[in-house]
Structure 1
Amino acid sequence: MSLLSDTRKRWFLLALLWAAMLVIGITGFIKQGSAHGVDRGTFDNLYLTLQLATIDYSGSSGPMNWQLQLARFVVPILAASTILQTASVVFREEFRRYRLRYAKDHVIICGLGETGARLATAFVAAGQHVVAIEPDAAVAARSGVAEQVDHVLQGSGTDEALLRTAGIDRARRIVVCSGSDAVNVQITQVIARVSASRAKAPVRCAVQLGSANLTGLLRSADLESRGGARISYFNLHERAARALLADDGPPAVEEQAVPHLMILGLGQFGRSLVLALAQQWADAHPGVKLTPTLVDPSARGKWEALRLQHPALDDVCEPTLVDLDLEVPDPDAIDDFLALLAQDPPSWVAIAVADETTALAQAGFMHQHLAWGQVPIVVRMRTQSGLGGLLQPLPDGAPALPGVELFPFLDRTCTIATVDGGVREQLAEAVHEDYLAHLAPDAPTSSLARPWAELTDADRELSRKRVDGITADLDALGLDLVPLRRWGAPEVTLTADEVDQLAGRDHQRWFDDRTAAGWRHGEVRDDEDKRNPLLVPWEDLPDDARSFNRATADELLPMLARNGFEAARR
């Protein structure tokens, strides 16, 4: 229930109580006057009733009836409540700003457009305190979240003073989604500068970028520490493509069979879907090429651009490219396309065009020319409501169009999981999985020996620090962490000396962390007394412990490759 609704209810309740007390008070004074032979007019009795609010009235000193006994206690309370309620309305803004001074571990959202408003609602629903920053008052009003979040500050996220007012030095995370890539990057730079002196753990900053290409280019920068901020970039089209494949993707096929997949629309979402399909196929069927059909008014040109950005596509995909605009089709082109559908019908269709009306029209077209309800057709729509509601099941549970499924783009991407899924977080999870894989069966019980989803945020922070250490270790060897452009084994091979250096640096980092936490060397491990026999310099470490560290270092580059990165020599 919104704060506005609660406020109105309180005013309505106060009005009812005032009406009831005025009736009771006036009735009591009328009865008192009659008992003592005092003739008062209606306004006199009303005046005396109102005097009860100040605990001072000039009525008779004779015995009071029950109405006056009740009124003289309740009316002052009502008066005080009314004053407090009025003050809460008049000074609400000041109260909220005052509370911001003490806010901590909250979420700051810069931008209340479609993405920001939905993420704000998601964080509030998860029990998080949210402070929003939005320069346009009209946008903030349309977002409908002003009464849900703790406070909405009007201004730009590029304003250092406003970020400090929002409590950036005490916030747990920041989400930047202003709607402009240039502005978002500028806000990121200000956040890095403002949080440079932050004493707490680095604030996690997720930055939305509308361009999937730009997101890819900044992936390596995603891993860099920026003062007191850990910055990650996310793109809704990329996340949406992976979400669609995870839940509504092509049905399972036999290992040797190559499905005929068709994608209509090669905008940002369509191109991201092609790339995600190719990566998924390459992982599941190495050496076998996927043969999708790609339909777009500029299918050939967009495919060539995609190949330039991702050369590995040539090793994975051999598409059929159809330059066709289904809104204004060329007669010969549409005949060729219909012949293609008849000769080699697809086994799965994704309609990835951004315009909802066009998407619905293309869904209807494909539904008419394919086997009735036998070919899954997934249609991208903004949300489940609006035009997307036309594809919702009928009241009796029957599908609106058999075989046609709705994919609500914003509903599936504007989630907490989306902003949590930055590169650093992905690698931190991979590091933890690597730790679990190398954990000895007889290892002592530890709070870390659990799946990533079950860890506390403090436990996850250890893996995040490990990722920070990985980038520093690679840097020390003259290696940069860059987006993986070729799927498969990484091109760089570490020498034995480099593996030894990585293992030694990893041990030293563990040594420093344990020592800072109060651990000391001991001949026998004792968790209660914080003693560990491995708390010695790398040179004094037993051979079996060194071998373990070296094995972990050997697995570093394959682990990075599995998560879309590789090490490149400068």
Structure 2
Amino acid sequence: MAALPPLPRAEETEIGGTGWTGEVDVAGTDRRSPYSLLVPAATIVVFTLGAWGFALVDSGSWLDHGYRSLQLFVIEAGDGFPDPIPWQLEVTRWVAPAITLLSTALAVAVLSRGRLDAWRARRMRGHVIVAGLGRRETEAALVLRRGGHDVVVISRHPPAGGVRRCRRAGIAVVEGDPRDPLALEAGGLGRASDLIVLDPELETSGRVALAAVGLAAARSEWPLVVHVEMADPALVGLLKALKISEHHAAGWRVEELDLAGAGASIMVDAVAPWADGSALAEVLVAGESTLAAAVVSELRRRWRLSGGAPDALSVVRTGSGSALSVGAVPSSVYVCADDEPEALTTALAVLRDFPGVPVAVHLEHTASFGTLLMQDAHDLHVVSLDTQVLTPAVLLDTTVERIARALHGAYRRQAEATSPSALPWAELAESLRASNRAQAEHVCDKLRVMRRVLLPDDGQPTDRFTEDEIQELGRLEHDRWVAERRAAGWTPGPRDTHARTTPYLVPWEELTEEVREIDRQFVRALPDVLADSGLVIRRSGASSVQPSADRPVRSGS
């Protein structure tokens, strides 16, 4: 995405990059506490007073007076004190030892806090590890903690401001290089549920992920999910398809952290791309950034969901600047340029050339100035994404979870409104969510039977199943669902969720046509559900509809 010039910080050379989210200063992040200067300042003042006091009672050199003043910090009076004692020495002989004791106590507290955090991290379970402690990593850790997650941060040279903010929030900070397996072990990786790496440099994030999956390979309780930031939309799409189709490791999996995609969704939410019910639409996207490419994909996805004809949407991609070559008047404009002054110039040029057309412009460092311009330009909408994309929902999302939510949404559209399985995803019982996830994970088994493959969305309509294929895939889905229910302890009988009985634990041939149609509707909706997650179905060869007798089976809501 837009690569904004980074502000200096030590963490940049280790884990954590600036990326398009920018380096907006967060209150308290890098401000040094005045207490960190208090002890050195007091030490200098007291040392000077001690040397002055000895100079008043002794004829030695200033070096001698300074040496005797230093001795007072370790409660050593040398040759003793004269009588009467000058007030300078009276102050020094009491304050100097107090400074020594205070400094020792502070040093012990710092060392003990680090050891305490490491001890806490090793005993956590199901927590989230954040690699690095730059500004974005700090914000991610804090927002996860506010969301109720236990969080551990691993950083080689954690900045004092970030450490203070994290520890105040109850986040354990472990000092170490996240690329080092020993540091990951110290952060409790063996019991962690997720690892988040916010670094657009794939070499760096890859080394962290490689160290993590090496430790997690033998896990059996639950897989470690490694969320790696990726700025290339093509790579994001390919990884989605690959891990759904080919991933076989039980102890871990890697998930693409698509901040550009999340930002694109927010951009399109800020300005309606076309009027409701439009049969034709032309949208202008200005800029060459990764965010601009993601906005184009998001517009196509939403047009498809609205039921519009594929050739009825025209998305015009152009560079940014004051001179834009655009034909027809667009229904909306999205400006996503790397250079923020240029982005503002582009947005104002669009407002000049196309009065009344809504314009969304992405700004981070100049968002305040853009907001000022909005007071007079009512069609201008400034969108700042820094804090909006770093949310638990984005940071911890997975492809299987997205497909499961989409499958549940498709089910709700044809289910009875009073059914407990038709509740919104956020209100759905965890057992039913797990069922939807199992259904999502089984998608590729179905596609392999039909000789289909999943590919990143290429803008072309996804393949559809024939009626014969729908019939066979419906059978497979019913078989999967039966196996899942039996494994969960369900038995044949009247429909009763509390007693875990259902009349549908029977072979496909014994189902009524109405019940069979539920599974067929799932199969018909599957191409659109996958397309909503950025994946399309393509034929890889002749379809084979021979069922597999031992194939596992469905998780319907």
- The TM-score normalised by the length of structure 2 is 0.67
Paired AA for residue 370 in structure 2: L
Partner deviation per Cα, 1:530-552 (whole Å, 9 max, x = no partner): 33333345566666644543443
SS of residue paired to 2:125: coil
In 2, the alpha carbon distance for the partners of 1:254 and 1:506 equals 35
Are 2:199 and 2:228, in contact at CA under 8 Å, matched by a contact in 1?
no
Distance 1:161 1:464, change over 3 A: farther
Residue number in structure 2 paired with 1:360 = 344
Residue number in structure 2 paired with 1:463 = 436
SS of residue paired to 2:189: coil
2:488 is matched with which residue: 514, 517, 523? 517
Distance 1:114 1:458, change over 3 A: farther
Distance 1:456 1:494, change over 3 A: same
1:242 is matched with which residue: 258, 261, 265? 265
Residue number in structure 2 paired with 1:35 = none
In 2, the alpha carbon distance for the partners of 1:491 and 1:434 equals 18
Map of 1:3-18 to 2, 5 A cutoff?
none
In 2, the alpha carbon distance for the partners of 1:180 and 1:441 equals 47
Please state if 1:557 is matched with 2:536.
Answer: no
In 2, the alpha carbon distance for the partners of 1:292 and 1:535 equals 49
Instruction: Report % sequence identity.
Output: 22
Map of 1:280-295 to 2, 5 A cutoff?
280-284=302-306, 285-286=308-309, 289-291=312-314, 293-295=316-318
Map of 1:39-438 to 2, 5 A cutoff?
89-138=110-159, 141=162, 145=166, 147-148=168-169, 150-223=171-244, 224=247, 226-250=249-273, 252=275, 255=278, 258-259=281-282, 261-284=283-306, 285-286=308-309, 289-291=312-314, 293-296=316-319, 348-366=332-350, 369-370=352-353, 374-382=356-364, 386-393=365-372, 399=375, 401-438=377-414
In 2, the alpha carbon distance for the partners of 1:231 and 1:420 equals 11
Paired AA for residue 380 in structure 1: H
Residue number in structure 1 paired with 2:447 = 474
SS of residue paired to 1:473: helix
In 1, the alpha carbon distance for the partners of 2:264 and 2:206 equals 24
Please state if 1:493 is matched with 2:493.
Answer: no
Partner deviation per Cα, 1:131-172 (whole Å, 9 max, x = no partner): 122345459859954653522234444433333332234333
SS of residue paired to 1:275: helix
Q: CA deviation at 1:95?
A: 1.3
SS of residue paired to 1:152: strand
Distance 1:141 1:510, change over 3 A: same
Q: Which has the higher contact order (CA 8 A, sep 6+)?
A: 2
Q: CA deviation at 1:257?
A: 6.0
The Cα RMSD (Å) is: 4.0
Distance 1:210 1:147, change over 3 A: farther
Are 2:138 and 2:162, in contact at CA under 8 Å, matched by a contact in 1?
no
In 2, the alpha carbon distance for the partners of 1:325 and 1:554 equals 45
Distance 1:4 1:354, change over 3 A: closer
Are 1:140 and 1:146, in contact at CA under 8 Å, matched by a contact in 2?
no
Distance 1:244 1:201, change over 3 A: same
SS of residue paired to 1:175: strand
Are 2:300 and 2:459, in contact at CA under 8 Å, matched by a contact in 1?
no
In 2, the alpha carbon distance for the partners of 1:551 and 1:251 equals 30
In 1, the alpha carbon distance for the partners of 2:290 and 2:260 equals 6
Paired AA for residue 362 in structure 2: R
Q: CA deviation at 1:429?
A: 0.5
Are 2:301 and 2:531, in contact at CA under 8 Å, matched by a contact in 1?
no
Paired AA for residue 514 in structure 1: R
Deviates more, 1:148-157 or 1:265-274: 148-157
Distance 1:152 1:452, change over 3 A: same
SS of residue paired to 2:123: coil
Paired AA for residue 342 in structure 2: T
* Structure index of larger Rg: 1
- The TM-score normalised by the length of structure 1 is 0.66
SS of residue paired to 1:392: helix
Distance 1:144 1:566, change over 3 A: same
Residue number in structure 2 paired with 1:568 = 538
